[in-house]
Structure 1
Amino acid sequence: MTDTTQTPPERAVDRAAVRERAEEVLRKLAGERAVLREDQWRAIEALTVDRRRVLCVQRTGWGKSAVYFVATALLRRGVTAEPAGPTVIVSPLLALMRNQVDAAARAGIRARTINSANLDEWSEIEAEIRDGTVDVLLISPERLNNPDFRDNVLPGLAASTGLLVVDEAHCVSDWGHDFRPDYRRLRTFLAGLPGRVPVLATTATANSRVTADVADQLGDALVLRGTLDRDSLRLAVLDLPDPAHRLAWLADHLDLLPGSGIIYTLTVAGATETADFLRSRGFPVASYTGQVEDADRRAAEQDLLDNKIKALVATSALGMGFDKPDLGFVVHLGAPPSPIAYYQQVGRAGRAVEHAEVVLLPGREDMAIWRYFASLAFPPEEQVRSVLAYLDADRPMSTQALEPLVDLRRTRLEMMLKVLDVDGAVRRTRGGWLSTGEPWTYDTERLRRVAEARSTEQQTMIEYARGSSCRMEFLRRCLDDPDAAPCGRCDNCAGPLYDADASSASLAAADAFLGRPGVQIAPKKMWPTGLAAVGVSVKGKIGPADQIEPGRAVGRLSDLGWGGRLRAAAGPESPDAPISDELAAAVVEILKTWAHGEDAWSQRPAAVVEVGSRRHPQLVRSLAEHIARVGRLPLLGAVTAAHGPDSEARGNSAQRVRALHDAFTVEPEVAAALSGLTGPVLLVDDLVDSGWTMALAGRALRRAGAEGVLPLALAVAG
């Protein structure tokens, strides 16, 4: 392509004419009455005429996407110089990509996307890029370090790019509320851009520190920072006593909220339970989490866009980039750990309507959930060093092969490897990861400062919920908006918008719904891969003679209903005590359902065996004794791990199997009792996390003569 970065200095550009052309494109995008905001024009002018780098920190709904689509149209048509190559937009979410492709078409811009959901189209799209028929290419940040894309597509793409757009640019900064290591690969992309190729970075959620960090990474950038007020939003907080009251309030008020909207929860279990309850009360809603299949998520997005449902009940998986201009409300069941993240999520609402309702229903359990997610941050130095020690410079090692060697769950291990990749210590290649041999320093001080910043954000979020000052002004000050002022609309400015009452009928329904105990414990069917590398000679399917049956637990630690009580009794940090009457009654209810429900056990258990617990011995023993007494079953004793971890640690499956595969012993008297039984045994424990304690303790019982093993626990982690 022609090198557009060498525009002759003597060529005069009629900036007024360029602005008129820009307005024409905008009208195609946004309607005949659309007019460029002044900062929109400043950004477009800087990108298309001056070929500068620009950072736009502007509120959601301001029109950041209009800037890059208008700039693309001008650059591709050669309005200010020779026609430029395609615009590359690095975007974090598929939802945003789908919306952007549709928006671009309205302006006559051909947009395509390369992501994990359209692998079969990659070759066709790459050919279209080479032929010059693609105006905009949207890619995820993860794609920047995919070996095939990085080595075969990225160099040519960087050389031909006419405009680079970094959407949700706060992700570039580890000070940002949603830092993503893959975004740091943009430095490599920036370095490969020829001459004066313009770059646009956009975000709605960057305070001064994040803005400075992103601007520094861009280089000599024009920073356009606007007011962050959202005059269509009315913010409110209601302090309700427990999850049942929050669900009941929702059931009573959902029809009163305008249009359709989003109900955010902090956990997958919370989203699933809330959606199930609202459906039981007759509301058309859908759940949206990272565990929902992509096709189902897309269908749910479309149903919300078409107003076929009242709400999506979502985790943060539905966040950046979801674009529904007429979204009428956002409700949070539980507070996000950062006021900046909260501002971003509520910014989904009220973009093209006169007013939208934003309600926060904080929970007593919020801080426990924040602590859990904080525990998944960058690992300690010794774990990082152990990973580096296993990697070779010549033979790539896959994440699956590393898992048996290091006690990190896969998502955390992959995040750590991405950071090491950005730091130059490792390199991703086909087949896995290689060591570069470059020296690497564990930045303890920076990680400490980031952790302290996260802790401060959590405390600030508590202050937001409890405060009596203007709520919008509070959020704007968190984002260092110099124009922050009282909004006059929120519950603290204008008085309560909603009462905190819930009807007795809705409260009774919520209590009954959340009070139902019982979740299934799925049995393990396959051994983790790579165990041979650590001397464990099992692989593939777990044989039928070693299998345990599907089991039951009262609930999940993250459940809205039972979660708080289970965390207090069986959580990793809870004190040991005998089982409470309430939990004992719930276990009896589970056993009744298990005996007579649709998926009842095939044969009544013949005895009870406990998993010997070092963490909660009183709890597990009292639970086993209660079950034996109520069920009139013999309590045979315990199956105990002679070695291995003291608890169901949050490591990966391979490490759990490595530690426990030969650890469990069945005492001779227990084995003798098993030989005389007809029917399975109930294997009782307090908490199931990875599931391998139950699987391997059950395997030991099967090998000692048990006809079958039915796992029963108080809680499932997650």
Structure 2
Amino acid sequence: MTETAVDSAFHAEARERLTALTGRDDDFRPGQLEAISALVEQRRRVLVVQKTGWGKSAVYFLAAHLLRSRGRGVSLIVSPLIALMRDQIAAATRAGVRAQAVNSANAHEWDSVLEALAADELDVLLISPERLANPRFRDEVLPGLLDRLGMLVVDEAHCISDWGHDFRPDYRRIGEIVRNLPTAVPVLATTATANSRVVEDVAAQLSPAGDASGKEVLVLRGSLSRDSLRLGVLTLPDSEQRIAWLTQHLGSLAGSGIVYALTVSQAQDLTRHLREHGHDVVAYTGQTDPDERAQLEQALKENRVKALIATSALGMGFDKPDLGFVVHLGAPSSPVSYYQQIGRAGRAVDNADVLLLPGREDVRIWEHFAQASMPTQERADAVLTALAEHPEETLSVARLEAMVEIRRSPLELLLKVLEVDGAVHRVRGGWVSTGRGWVYDAERYDTILRLRRAEQQSMLEYERLPPGQCRMAYLAAALDDAAATACGRCDTCAGPWFPRELDQDSVSEARVSMDRVGVEIAPRKQWPTGLGALGLSLKGRLGPGEVAAEGRALARLSDLGWGPTVREAIQGEDAPVPDQLASAVVRVLAEWGWERRPDVVVSVPSRRHPRLVDSLARGVAQVGRLPYAGALEPVDGGPSSSPEANSAFRLAGLLGRFRVPEEMASQLQGAAVLLVDDEVISRWTLTVAARELRGAGADLVLPFALGMRG
């Protein structure tokens, strides 16, 4: 079927609604009317793969309106774009479409929205994929909604696929819903970032029950090249020069935009430096409060800031049509992820600049995230065993966390995977076992990991493209756009369009800024919940005679400045503290500003880095002209839990595993102790060690470490 074959009366009706939606007397872009007609007139299952800004939301809102006018039921749109939903609802209202949303950002509106849905007063309901896992919505709302569904829309459909760059377990539930829908209910899936493998996988999941071929799904793919974007890569030798370039040239970039960093601490470091040098920028990360996020997004939309310095937390769902630039300080792990993020720019302007400033730490960060989301058989067995041992109970995540040696975030992700695979079930108040078990699909996860690493290599190739090999064509080809041609605008097509010179004063200032040392180690003051399940009676607050004082670390391992040097010392072979780090340690101690100076130095015994920790403690003692009382003694081999374990298990494996030697005790009476370790991961090692020291007579314990995660 071609667009010219669409009935003229239908075309006129649809175009009238398009004008109402956009406020402009435009005709449809290639493929839009074809998709709408397939949904409304033929009730087909359709997958649309089109570049950002093409108008995918226009397709589903207009199709929903036209289906409703033909007596069909409400359309359900599943989308992760919570930040965009309010704008979409406003646009839909202008077109006469009655749309509302149920998501984590509007909990106060849920009752009224669901009342309107029950009264059949809505044309469109937008939900986040997480709602499908919510017991109340899943059990009380969804069944009735599916019984009278007019259309199902899956936005950002690449999230369905294991092979997509942004797979999300919550999306896997959609496949079951699609398979059980009557064939007369049209289904639309949309994405801007899907290669052929992802397209085939999504099409198979959209197929009716009994047919996993994907052949019954109409796939509409357009060109993914973005004519408005001018791409470039500038490789500089270190963080100081990259930061200096941004400081020197950010103001000359057109309009307002986004500067992406790979980690929270990088975003915070860069924001601080740029603000100190006169740039109106604000940090936007996963740690930013949701209400503040909305305010920051609005500030950027209204050009009240030059840029948001953001992590990937600012991704799908942010829509500023005139966004003038996107700069990356460090590269995403794949060309597809990169394409998705730069797609924020140049939607409604003819020219937008996109520049990548890759860093030498990128590959290490990629590898961490590539493996962090992978489930394991061992962890899954631990969760399933805990649930099976309590068949009459509903176990909350907090209670499960005290039963299995898994931290909260990976535990929640694992539970989602187990649920969509049918091994567990979420109910009000927590989780129960279905009794179906779960087998680790090693082949599948090995394949995913190999794919992730191949994508990483492809990103490195993008950074190193020679002159004449177009960057936009390379990105489009990564998405299997066979029609991609040279853009004629990027730095490999037309030569560098960005300034390359660096003012040495800017480099020096960046070096000074990144040379800052000293990160606060906040003391643990509360015992973790759920210790009773591990046979421990500790709960509530630590006693006033048990808690450590505020401490210091030289740097976070993810910091732009000292982070790489500290990480190399901690993660490399065991050796004495390098002179460069020793000098920085002296600066941290000199700048600490403690109310009481230490009287004695004690170290935490280390299995991984005994030489590093011993030399650090002895060096600190020598510089401070303090006695070094030695290390605490490990009991029964020392800690029995992994530093990566959740708080309850980590603490259980630390309690009673340190002892104050008799010869040390006399030096502790009423003393302020500087407690030295190599790395802070959970803070429980320092907490337990400080408790032992204070129990042996120390009046104050001041933790100090080379590095801290986070």
Please give the alpha-carbon distance, in whole angstroms, between the structure 1 residues aligned to 2:503 and 2:66: 58
1:414-563 matches, within 5 Å, as 414-468=412-466, 469-563=469-563
Residues 321-363 of structure 1 deviation map (CA, whole Å, 9 limit, x = unaligned): 2111101110000011111000110111111101110000000
Please give the alpha-carbon distance, in whole angstroms, between the structure 1 residues aligned to 2:628 and 2:261: 41
The offset of 1:191, in angstroms, is: 4.3
Q: Which residue number corresponds to residue 580 of structure 2?
A: 582
Please give the alpha-carbon distance, in whole angstroms, between the structure 1 residues aligned to 2:666 and 2:98: 74
Q: Which residue number corresponds to residue 315 of structure 1?
A: 311
Q: Which residue number corresponds to residue 676 of structure 2?
A: 684
The offset of 1:593, in angstroms, is: 1.7
Please give the alpha-carbon distance, in whole angstroms, between the structure 1 residues aligned to 2:369 and 2:194: 21
Match 2:619 to one of 619, 626, 638:
626
Structure 1 letter corresponding to 2:424: V
Structure 2 letter corresponding to 1:466: R
Assess, with a 3 A threshold, how the Cα gap between structure 1 residues 640 and 118 changes in structure 2: closer, same or farther.
farther
Deviates more, 1:255-264 or 1:115-124: 115-124
Q: Which residue number corresponds to residue 15 of structure 2?
A: 23
Match 1:54 to one of 43, 46, 52:
46
Q: Which residue number corresponds to residue 10 of structure 1?
A: none
The offset of 1:665, in angstroms, is: 1.0
The offset of 1:658, in angstroms, is: 1.5
Please give the alpha-carbon distance, in whole angstroms, between the structure 2 residues aligned to 1:134 and 1:114: 13
Contact 2:600 2:667 in 1 (8 A): no
The unaligned stretches of length 5 or more in structure 2 are 208-215
Contact 1:404 1:658 in 2 (8 A): no
Please give the alpha-carbon distance, in whole angstroms, between the structure 2 residues aligned to 1:14 and 1:628: 83
Contact 1:159 1:192 in 2 (8 A): no
Structure 2 letter corresponding to 1:443: D
Residues 454-498 of structure 1 deviation map (CA, whole Å, 9 limit, x = unaligned): 010001101110121211111111111110221111100100112
Contact 1:614 1:647 in 2 (8 A): no
Query: How many residue pairs end up in the alignment?
Result: 693
Deviates more, 1:198-207 or 1:655-664: 655-664
The offset of 1:299, in angstroms, is: 0.5
Structure 1 letter corresponding to 2:366: W
Q: Which residue number corresponds to residue 157 of structure 1?
A: 145
Assess, with a 3 A threshold, how the Cα gap between structure 1 residues 69 and 622 changes in structure 2: closer, same or farther.
same
Please give the alpha-carbon distance, in whole angstroms, between the structure 1 residues aligned to 2:6 and 2:582: 80
The alignment partner of 1:673 has SS state of coil
Matched, 1:127 2:118: no
Match 2:298 to one of 283, 299, 302:
302
Please give the alpha-carbon distance, in whole angstroms, between the structure 1 residues aligned to 2:633 and 2:15: 74
Please give the alpha-carbon distance, in whole angstroms, between the structure 2 residues aligned to 1:103 and 1:709: 59
Match 2:692 to one of 696, 700, 711:
700
Matched, 1:607 2:600: yes
Q: Which residue number corresponds to residue 211 of structure 1?
A: 199
Please give the alpha-carbon distance, in whole angstroms, between the structure 2 residues aligned to 1:647 and 1:570: 19
Q: Which residue number corresponds to residue 671 of structure 1?
A: 665
Contact 2:234 2:355 in 1 (8 A): yes
Q: Which residue number corresponds to residue 590 of structure 2?
A: 592
1:171-570 matches, within 5 Å, as 171-191=159-179, 193-219=181-207, 220-392=216-388, 393-468=391-466, 469-570=469-570
1:69-84 matches, within 5 Å, as 69-76=61-68, 78=69, 81-82=70-71, 84=72
Matched, 1:717 2:684: no
The offset of 1:381, in angstroms, is: 1.3
The offset of 1:192, in angstroms, is: 5.0
Assess, with a 3 A threshold, how the Cα gap between structure 1 residues 14 and 284 changes in structure 2: closer, same or farther.
closer
The alignment partner of 2:436 has SS state of coil
Please give the alpha-carbon distance, in whole angstroms, between the structure 2 residues aligned to 1:401 and 1:328: 48
Contact 1:87 1:164 in 2 (8 A): yes
Please give the alpha-carbon distance, in whole angstroms, between the structure 2 residues aligned to 1:697 and 1:153: 52
The alignment partner of 1:273 has SS state of helix
Structure 1 letter corresponding to 2:446: R
Please give the alpha-carbon distance, in whole angstroms, between the structure 2 residues aligned to 1:110 and 1:518: 54
Q: Which residue number corresponds to residue 213 of structure 2?
A: none
Structure 2 letter corresponding to 1:404: A
The alignment partner of 1:38 has SS state of coil
Please give the alpha-carbon distance, in whole angstroms, between the structure 1 residues aligned to 2:656 and 2:97: 62
The offset of 1:388, in angstroms, is: 1.1
The alignment partner of 1:125 has SS state of helix
Please give the alpha-carbon distance, in whole angstroms, between the structure 2 residues aligned to 1:14 and 1:554: 67
Please give the alpha-carbon distance, in whole angstroms, between the structure 2 residues aligned to 1:435 and 1:640: 43
Q: Which residue number corresponds to residue 146 of structure 1?
A: 134
Please give the alpha-carbon distance, in whole angstroms, between the structure 2 residues aligned to 1:339 and 1:645: 42
Contact 2:638 2:658 in 1 (8 A): no
Residues 539-568 of structure 1 deviation map (CA, whole Å, 9 limit, x = unaligned): 122221111111111111111111110110
Contact 1:615 1:646 in 2 (8 A): no
The alignment partner of 1:590 has SS state of helix
Please give the alpha-carbon distance, in whole angstroms, between the structure 2 residues aligned to 1:63 and 1:444: 39
The offset of 1:261, in angstroms, is: 0.6
Match 2:648 to one of 641, 645, 654:
654
Contact 1:648 1:689 in 2 (8 A): no
The alignment partner of 1:674 has SS state of coil
Contact 1:155 1:192 in 2 (8 A): no
The alignment partner of 2:372 has SS state of coil
CA RMSD in angstroms, aligned pairs only: 1.6
Assess, with a 3 A threshold, how the Cα gap between structure 1 residues 488 and 429 changes in structure 2: closer, same or farther.
same
The offset of 1:120, in angstroms, is: 2.2
Deviates more, 1:406-415 or 1:456-465: 406-415
The alignment partner of 2:350 has SS state of coil
Matched, 1:102 2:90: yes
Residues 301-334 of structure 1 deviation map (CA, whole Å, 9 limit, x = unaligned): 0001111111111111111121111011100000
Q: Which residue number corresponds to residue 5 of structure 1?
A: none
Please give the alpha-carbon distance, in whole angstroms, between the structure 2 residues aligned to 1:586 and 1:674: 27
Deviates more, 1:435-444 or 1:62-71: 435-444
Structure 1 letter corresponding to 2:106: N
The alignment partner of 2:667 has SS state of helix
Structure 2 letter corresponding to 1:541: R
Deviates more, 1:527-536 or 1:352-361: 527-536
Match 1:118 to one of 97, 100, 106:
106
Please give the alpha-carbon distance, in whole angstroms, between the structure 2 residues aligned to 1:347 and 1:471: 14
Contact 1:641 1:660 in 2 (8 A): no
The offset of 1:439, in angstroms, is: 3.9
Please give the alpha-carbon distance, in whole angstroms, between the structure 1 residues aligned to 2:357 and 2:680: 29
Q: Which residue number corresponds to residue 168 of structure 1?
A: 156
Please give the alpha-carbon distance, in whole angstroms, between the structure 2 residues aligned to 1:146 and 1:283: 43
Assess, with a 3 A threshold, how the Cα gap between structure 1 residues 716 and 293 changes in structure 2: closer, same or farther.
same
Residues 193-235 of structure 1 deviation map (CA, whole Å, 9 limit, x = unaligned): 4451111100000000000000000013111011101000111
The offset of 1:591, in angstroms, is: 1.5
Deviates more, 1:439-448 or 1:512-521: 439-448
